[in-house]
Amino acid sequence: MSNLLQDIKIEYKKVVWPSKDETVKATLLVAAMSVAVSIYVGVFDVVASRILKMMGTFFGG
């Protein structure tokens, strides 16, 4: 068990952590992309819903 903990400690020291600036930029990018995808999916949903309603009334459904 102690070998495992020592190995973890050694590997942990090899990790290159991102700077605060990189972390903030990545977080903002993820948030912006989440908003953009949500808007895209919402618009697609509204358009698809209206098309399907029109098709239903056109074909007598």
Domain chopping of the chain, boundaries: 16-58
DSSP 57: H
42 and 34 in contact (C-beta within 8 Å)? no
**What is the distance in angstroms between the CA of the first residue and the CA of the last residue of the chain?**
68
Task: Outline where 1-61 has alpha helix (H).
Answer: 2-14, 20-58
* pLDDT at residue 61, as a whole number: 58
* Cβ-based neighbours of 18, under 8 Å, separated by 6 or more: 26
Question: What is the tens place of the pLDDT at every residue in 19-56?
Answer: 999 999 999 999 999 999 999 999 999 999 999 999 98
Is the pTM value of this prediction over 0.75? no
How far apart CA 11 and CA 52 sit, in angstroms, is: 56
